[in-house]
Amino acid sequence: MSAKRQFRIWRGDETGGDLQDYMVEVNEGEVVLDVIHRLQATDAPDLACRWNCKAGKCGSCSMEINGKPRLGCMTRMSTFGDDETVTVTPLRTFPVIRDLVTDVSFNYVKARETPAFAPPADVAPGDYRMQQVDVERSQEFRKCIECFLCQTVCHVVRDHEENKQAFSGPRYFIRAAELDMHPLDTKTDRKEYAQAEQGLGFCNITKCCTEVCPEHIKITDNGIIPMKERVVDRRYDPLVWLGSKIFRRGETPQTSVTTARPGTATSGSARGGLHSHSGGSHDPRAEAQAQRGVNWDREVPHPTAPAVDDRGRLPLTELTFDRAAAPSPFGDDVTFPLPPEHLNFAHPEQDKH
Amino acid sequence: MTTTTRIARHHYDVVVIGAGGAGLRAAIEARLAGKKTAIISKSLFGKAHTVMAEGGAAAAMGNVNSRDNWQVHFRDTMRGGKFLNNFRMAELHAKESPQRIWELETYGALFDRTKDGKISQRNFGGHEYPRLAHVGDRTGLELIRTLQQKIVSLQQEDQREFGSYDARIRVFSETTITELMLDGDRIAGAFGYYRESGEFILFEAPAVVLATGGVGRSYKVTSNSWEYTGDGHALALRAGATLINMEFLQFHPTGMVWPPSVKGILVTESVRGDGGVLKNSDGKRFMFDYVPDVFRKQYAETEEEADRWYTDPDNNRRPPELLPRDEVARAINSEVKAGRGSPAGGVFLDIASRRSSDEIRRRLPSMYHQFKELADVDITAEPMEVGPTCHYVMGGVEVDPDSGAAFGHVRGLFAAGEVSGGMHGSNRLGGNSLSDLLVFGKRAGGHAASYADGLDARPRVAVNAVEAAVETALAPLQRDTGESPYTLQQDLQAVMGDLVGIIRREGELADALVRLAELRERVAKVSAAGGRRYNPGWHLALDLRNMLVVSECTAKAALERQESRGGHTREDYPAMEPKWRQVNLVCSLDGDTVQLTRKPLPKMRPELIGLFDRAELAKYLTDEELADFDALVADAGEADNR
| Stretch (H or E) spanning B598 | strand B593-600
Q: Which of B491, B486, B598, B507 is nearest to B555 (CA)?
A: B507
Residue B2 pLDDT exceeds 90: no
Quick check: B110 and A139 CB within 8 A? Answer: yes
At A296, the pLDDT band (50, 70, 90 cuts) reads very low
What percent of chain A has pLDDT above 90? 59
Q: What is the pLDDT of residue B615?
A: 93
Q: What is the pLDDT of residue A84?
A: 94
Cα–Cα distance between B474 and B454 in angstroms, integer? 36
Chain B residues touching residue A70 (CB < 8 angstroms): none
Residue with the bigger pLDDT between B253 and B66: it is B66
Q: What is the pLDDT of residue B171?
A: 97
> Which of A108, A142, A144 is facing B45, going by the closest CB pair?
A108
Q: Which of B161, B164, B185, B152 is nearest to B39 (CA)?
A: B152
Condensed to tens digits (0 to 9), the pLDDT of residues B99-135 reads: 999 999 999 999 999 999 999 999 888 899 999 999 9
Cα–Cα distance between B354 and B278 in angstroms, integer? 12
At B75, the pLDDT band (50, 70, 90 cuts) reads very high
Cα–Cα distance between B370 and B377 in angstroms, integer? 9
Q: What is the pLDDT of residue A330?
A: 63
Quick check: B117 and A143 CB within 8 A? Answer: no
Chain A residues touching residue B260 (CB < 8 angstroms): 27-30, 34
Condensed to tens digits (0 to 9), the pLDDT of residues B162-176 reads: 999 999 999 999 999
Q: What is the pLDDT of residue B248?
A: 96
Q: What is the pLDDT of residue B15?
A: 98
CA distances from B264 to B28, B255, B342 (A): 32, 5, 16
B7-249+392-453 CATH: 3.50.50.60
Find the mean pLDDT for residues B350-368. Answer: 89
Give the A:B interface size as CB pairs under 8 Å. 225
Residue B196 pLDDT exceeds 70: yes
Task: Set out the domains of chain A in order of their start, with CATH numbers.
Answer: 2-101 (3.10.20.30), 105-292 (1.10.1060.10)
Residue A278 pLDDT exceeds 70: no
Q: What is the pLDDT of residue A256?
A: 40
> Which of B8, B47, B530 is facing A46, going by the closest CB pair?
B530
* DSSP secondary structure of B503-537: EE-HHHHHHHHHHHHHHHHHHHT----S-STT-HH
Chain B residues touching residue A114 (CB < 8 angstroms): 152
B157, with CB counted inside 10 A (0-12, 13-18, 19+), is: middle
What percent of chain B has pLDDT above 70? 99
What percent of chain B has pLDDT above 90? 80
Chain B residues touching residue A302 (CB < 8 angstroms): 163-164
Cα–Cα distance between B579 and A56 in angstroms, integer? 45
Break chain B into its structural domains and give their ranges: 7-249+392-453, 250-391, 606-641
Q: Which of B24, B414, B7 is nearest to B187 (CA)?
A: B414
Q: Pick the range with the lowest mean pLDDT from A227-241, B139-153, B243-257.
A: A227-241
Q: What is the pLDDT of residue A236?
A: 59
Residue A298 pLDDT exceeds 60: no
Set B79, B272, B545, B581: catalytic member: B272
| Mutate: best of A216, A297, A335, A351, partner B, most B CBs <10 A | A297
CATH class assigned to B250-391: alpha beta
Quick check: A302 and B164 CB within 8 A? Answer: yes
Quick check: B374 and A31 CB within 8 A? Answer: yes
Condensed to tens digits (0 to 9), the pLDDT of residues A319-342 reads: 655 655 555 666 656 667 766 555
> Which of A45, A74, A283 is facing B374, going by the closest CB pair?
A74
Q: Pick the range with the lowest mean pLDDT from A199-208, B218-227, B452-461, B600-609.
A: B218-227
Residue A351 pLDDT exceeds 70: no
Chain B residues touching residue A52 (CB < 8 angstroms): 43, 47-49, 225-227
Cα–Cα distance between B498 and B488 in angstroms, integer? 15
Return mean pLDDT, chain A: 79
Find the mean pLDDT for residues A261-284. Answer: 36
Q: Identify whether B504 is a catalytic site residue.
A: no
At A275, the pLDDT band (50, 70, 90 cuts) reads very low
Q: Which chain A residue lies closest to B155 (C-alpha atoms)?
A: A112
Find the mean pLDDT for residues B295-320. Answer: 92
Quick check: B536 and A48 CB within 8 A? Answer: yes
